[in-house]
Chains A and B, each alone.
Chain A
Amino acid sequence: MDAMPLLLLWLALAAPNLLMPRGEKALVLLFVRADCPISNRYAPEIQRLHAVYGARGIEFRLVYPERGLSPAAIEQHRRVYGYTIPGVADGDRFYTIKAQARTTPEAAVFVGGRLVYRGRIDDRYADFGKARPEPTERDLDAVLAAIVKGRTVLFHQTRAIGCAIENEP
């Protein structure tokens, strides 16, 4: 398990330009790439989760780690894929590093600034080119369900299949 300095993360997430939980139960960062087909294919599922859990006090953000992606390009991508979740440019990798995300699509869930989950949305993709017709494990859904029920969620992670977040100069 990654030893995330919790206090530091909390402070970092509390920085002025950050998405600070405004009394919400939790914050979900969804790392996406505009040119990643696996990430894009998850758009309906991400919106579905938002429809279910957004109404129950969980905050959602799409995080675009691509360098040089303009706000207009992000807006265009959101519109085309029917996203109503706000998008955040992360070319400087602030959130990517905080969540230690490596792939798109990948989810990171924070409760009170504490990272409790990082990994796949579900297990539809077992590997590159190995997709199930339907997922059998809906990992992110389960984490969010536990949070809205008020359960304590301990940090865990899963391996996300998708497109690498490149470590560009």
Chain B
Amino acid sequence: MKVVLLALLTALAARAAAVTFNRQIAPILFQNCAACHRPGEAAPFPLLTYHDARQHASQILAVTRRGYMPPWPPAPGYGDFAGTRRLSAEQVRLIAAWVEGGAPEGDAADLPPAPKFTDGWQLGAPDLVVPMPRSYQLAAGGADVFRNFVIPVHLEETRYIRAVELRPGNQKIVHHANIVVDRTRSLRRRDGRDGQPGFPGMDVTTESGAEFDPDSHFLFWKPGSVAQPEPDDMAWRLDPGTDLILNMHLQPSGKPESLQPKIGLYFASRAPTRFPMLLQLEHDGALEIPPGARDFSVSDHLTLPVAVNVLAIYPHAHYLGHRVEAWATLPDGRRRWLIKIDDWDINWQAVYNYREPVALPKGTQVAMRITYDNSTLNPRNPNHPPKLVRNGNRSEDEMGHVWLQVLPAKASAEDPRLLLQEAVMRRRLEKYPGDFVAQYSLGALLAFRGRQREAIPYFEAALRSQPSSATARNGLAAALLADDRLDEAIRELRHTLQLDPEYDNARYNLARALTAQGDAAGAVEQYRAYLKRQPEDAAAHLNLGRLYVAQKRYDEALPQMQIAARLKPDDADLQTDLGALLAMKGDLPAAIAAFEHALRIDPSHKVARANLNRARAH
């Protein structure tokens, strides 16, 4: 009896020890692999059935044992990220036991249901689908291609975007993609010069507009990633006339391929009230990596002027990048790791979202260090033999960036992003003394915050490094104008217009400056020139109208006021001015109508009320 029991127990133990597909392996593959390894997705073969897995069993073991699959470069214990895709040592051991045991299928009753996936748009039908206008043809062979596609968005009105989803169209060749918002359409002119859609380059920089509107979201796609919608109050603004730039890493497949991605936009119900911001740690200017160097590093740091929550992190380097580290030193001296990647691989670069936001108090220093291997031992080295490498956006150049998406805490009435931007630019000035961008940005930031007098020396410094910058000269002039230094402002504005006669903002500023100086004739001339190019600018029509009134040229003033009133029908002051002008010209019924219009907009408008009473009494 005892012998029988022992034999039974041994048999049971052996059965328990046998690792089968259905019992232990299928759950691992379904959970960690199937998102990409399924039909229509990026991976080269599906892993949804026993047959699928059996055909690739030793391959699965080889790549999981080495940690190559599933691709998850961050080191464990250095940041807690959402969607972490890393097998445990136990899971890898199970795969090994399964393969070495002959990869048995096991008992059908053990098989869990296969995971369910949504086909097509993962977030449902988008509110707006923006396709790439023309398809791009990728050659069968050769090195990887880094290409940027300009995708115009046709919008009737400003929208707020809570999610962006990319359908690459040809999953097998798209390794990753970034979407860059080009508010000034600054990259259109580079599009299609070589006969194919887009233009080459690993990284793109757009020109920002006049207003302070820093980038706020990572719009990143990689195979297997599902777009995460933002809460509506953290959506980002998309204006009519904006271009989206699709920055893509393409891998030739061995046959000619055609690519025509689509971008799906999901609208938020309202304008955002919370504004994240992207902070960049970098020191590209220090990137001079000698040939053969295995341990060259660059680093950067930034002390936070406000408390922030770090939402996500995006490291970026090219083929020489080897190790990426980023951490925060809290005011009490404790170190908190943000990320560590020991074997950087551009092919698997990604945005990593923290499972919980990382709260960093004011005064925390965030820092990064990226180490490069420019030796022949780095197989990805683009140069053979290695050569001196500097920063640049070709794949044979290097970069070293760690971007943080932070949500700053509001500590005063002021937008905390302005304080962050100022800290970034002051740090930039430390790294690059005399740097034009830093000096100009600091000037523009101070001017934006109404501190015109403090802005002047920064604009002057910016002009010392780039005397031909019309933008900086206009900035200086506007600050001088606000500080009532009229003669100097006018001199700088005339100089700006010599540099760039089509700089409309400078011409507008010149008209204002001449008005303030009392040169009405000169101001009229400038406003007229300005309005030829900007006929829809209500404020310019109004100002010109007022100048004519001051000169008692009522006949010329009236059409200007009427155009302004048409362009801005909801402006009570404007209607009141128009009414006053009409009254002066003797057209009392029209004047009364204008005053009444003003009072409908603003029933408490005292001047409109007084004028209406006088006109009626007449």
Chain A residues with CB under 8 Å of chain B are 35-37, 39-45, 66-67, 80-82, 123, 126-134, 136, 163-164, 166-168
A-B contacts counted at CB < 8 A amount to: 82
Given known A44-B141, A126-B379, A133-B395, contact A163–B59 (CB-CB < 8 A): yes
- Cβ of B253 and Cβ of A129 under 8 Å apart? no
**Least CB distance, A83 to chain B, in whole angstroms:** 10
The verdict on B306 contacting chain A, using a C-beta distance below 8 Å, is no
Which single member of A35, A40, A133, A166 contacts B253 (CB below 8 Å)?
A40
- Cβ of B54 and Cβ of A129 under 8 Å apart? no
The verdict on B345 contacting chain A, using a C-beta distance below 8 Å, is yes
> Could you say which of B62-70, B399-407, B468-476, B566-574 contacts chain A?
B62-70
Distance in angstroms between the alpha carbons of A126 and B384 in the assembled complex: 14
Return chain A residues, CB-CB under 8 Å to B253: 37, 40-41
B-side interface size class: 35 or more
The verdict on B24 contacting chain A, using a C-beta distance below 8 Å, is no
- Cβ of A132 and Cβ of B380 under 8 Å apart? yes
Which single member of A35, A40, A127, A131 contacts B254 (CB below 8 Å)?
A40
Select from chain B the residue with minimum beta-carbon distance to A165: B58
A-B contact pairs, 28 of them (CB 8 A): A35-B45, A37-B253, A40-B254, A40-B255, A41-B252, A41-B254, A42-B254, A43-B254, A66-B55, A80-B255, A81-B254, A82-B140, A82-B256, A127-B66, A128-B66, A129-B348, A131-B380, A132-B381, A132-B384, A133-B144, A133-B319, A134-B143, A163-B59, A166-B54, A166-B55, A166-B56, A166-B59, A168-B54
Return chain B residues, CB-CB under 8 Å to A130: 345, 379-380
- Cβ of B254 and Cβ of A129 under 8 Å apart? no
The verdict on B130 contacting chain A, using a C-beta distance below 8 Å, is no
Distance in angstroms between the alpha carbons of A40 and B253 in the assembled complex: 6
The verdict on B382 contacting chain A, using a C-beta distance below 8 Å, is yes
User: Which 6 A-B pairs give the minimum distances between C-beta atoms?
Assistant: A44-B141, A126-B379, A43-B254, A40-B254, A128-B68, A164-B59
Interface residues as binary, B41-54 with A (CB distance below 8 Å gives 1, 0 otherwise): 00011000000001
Interface residues as binary, B135-149 with A (CB distance below 8 Å gives 1, 0 otherwise): 000001111100000
Distance in angstroms between the alpha carbons of A139 and B273 in the assembled complex: 61
Return chain B residues, CB-CB under 8 Å to A40: 253-255
Return chain A residues, CB-CB under 8 Å to B144: 133
Select from chain A the residue with minimum beta-carbon distance to B384: A136
**Least CB distance, B131 to chain A, in whole angstroms:** 25
**Least CB distance, A3 to chain B, in whole angstroms:** 24
Distance in angstroms between the alpha carbons of A66 and B44 in the assembled complex: 15
Interface residues of B in 359-397 (CB under 8 A from A): 379-382, 384, 395-396
Return chain A residues, CB-CB under 8 Å to B141: 41, 43-45
Which single member of A41, A45, A132, A166 contacts B379 (CB below 8 Å)?
A132
Distance in angstroms between the alpha carbons of A134 and B58 in the assembled complex: 28
- Cβ of B58 and Cβ of A166 under 8 Å apart? yes
The verdict on B347 contacting chain A, using a C-beta distance below 8 Å, is yes
* Residue among A41, A80, A133, A164 with the highest chain B CB neighbour number at 10 A: A133
Select from chain B the residue with minimum beta-carbon distance to A32: B254
Distance in angstroms between the alpha carbons of A164 and B69 in the assembled complex: 15
Return chain B residues, CB-CB under 8 Å to A45: 141
Return chain A residues, CB-CB under 8 Å to B380: 130-133
Which single member of B56, B68, B251 contacts A164 (CB below 8 Å)?
B56
Return chain A residues, CB-CB under 8 Å to B57: 166
Distance in angstroms between the alpha carbons of A167 and B57 in the assembled complex: 9
Return chain B residues, CB-CB under 8 Å to A37: 44, 172, 253
Which single member of A82, A126, A164 contacts B62 (CB below 8 Å)?
A164
**Least CB distance, B368 to chain A, in whole angstroms:** 23
Distance in angstroms between the alpha carbons of A168 and B141 in the assembled complex: 31
**Least CB distance, A164 to chain B, in whole angstroms:** 4
Return chain B residues, CB-CB under 8 Å to A39: 254
13 new A-B pairs (CB below 8 Å) besides A37-B172, A129-B71?
A39-B254, A41-B141, A45-B141, A81-B254, A129-B345, A129-B348, A130-B345, A130-B380, A132-B379, A132-B380, A133-B395, A134-B143, A163-B56
Distance in angstroms between the alpha carbons of A168 and B143 in the assembled complex: 34
Return chain A residues, CB-CB under 8 Å to B172: 37
* Residue among A39, A126, A131 with the highest chain B CB neighbour number at 10 A: A131
**Least CB distance, A14 to chain B, in whole angstroms:** 31
Distance in angstroms between the alpha carbons of A139 and B140 in the assembled complex: 22
Distance in angstroms between the alpha carbons of A42 and B142 in the assembled complex: 10
- Cβ of B56 and Cβ of A82 under 8 Å apart? no
- Cβ of B140 and Cβ of A44 under 8 Å apart? yes
Distance in angstroms between the alpha carbons of A165 and B347 in the assembled complex: 25
**Least CB distance, A132 to chain B, in whole angstroms:** 5
**Least CB distance, B322 to chain A, in whole angstroms:** 12
- Cβ of B44 and Cβ of A129 under 8 Å apart? no
Interface residues as binary, B302-338 with A (CB distance below 8 Å gives 1, 0 otherwise): 0000000000000000010000000000000000000
Distance in angstroms between the alpha carbons of A67 and B57 in the assembled complex: 14
Return chain B residues, CB-CB under 8 Å to A136: 384
Return chain B residues, CB-CB under 8 Å to A41: 141, 251-254
Which single member of A67, A80, A133 contacts B143 (CB below 8 Å)?
A133
**Least CB distance, A127 to chain B, in whole angstroms:** 7
Return chain A residues, CB-CB under 8 Å to B68: 128-129
Return chain A residues, CB-CB under 8 Å to B56: 163-164, 166
Distance in angstroms between the alpha carbons of A82 and B384 in the assembled complex: 30
**Least CB distance, B599 to chain A, in whole angstroms:** 71
Distance in angstroms between the alpha carbons of A166 and B71 in the assembled complex: 22
- Cβ of A164 and Cβ of B58 under 8 Å apart? yes
Interface residues of B in 537-581 (CB under 8 A from A): none
Return chain A residues, CB-CB under 8 Å to B381: 132
Return chain B residues, CB-CB under 8 Å to A43: 140-141, 254-255
Select from chain A the residue with minimum beta-carbon distance to B102: A169
Distance in angstroms between the alpha carbons of A131 and B319 in the assembled complex: 10
**Least CB distance, A21 to chain B, in whole angstroms:** 28
**Least CB distance, A114 to chain B, in whole angstroms:** 29
Distance in angstroms between the alpha carbons of A136 and B144 in the assembled complex: 17
Distance in angstroms between the alpha carbons of A44 and B144 in the assembled complex: 14
**Least CB distance, B96 to chain A, in whole angstroms:** 14
Return chain A residues, CB-CB under 8 Å to B395: 133
Distance in angstroms between the alpha carbons of A133 and B144 in the assembled complex: 8
**Least CB distance, A124 to chain B, in whole angstroms:** 9
**Least CB distance, A50 to chain B, in whole angstroms:** 14
Distance in angstroms between the alpha carbons of A12 and B172 in the assembled complex: 39
Return chain A residues, CB-CB under 8 Å to B142: 44
Select from chain A the residue with minimum beta-carbon distance to B46: A35
Distance in angstroms between the alpha carbons of A41 and B40 in the assembled complex: 19
Return chain A residues, CB-CB under 8 Å to B252: 41, 44
Return chain B residues, CB-CB under 8 Å to A134: 143, 384
Given known A42-B254, A82-B140, contact A167–B58 (CB-CB < 8 A): yes
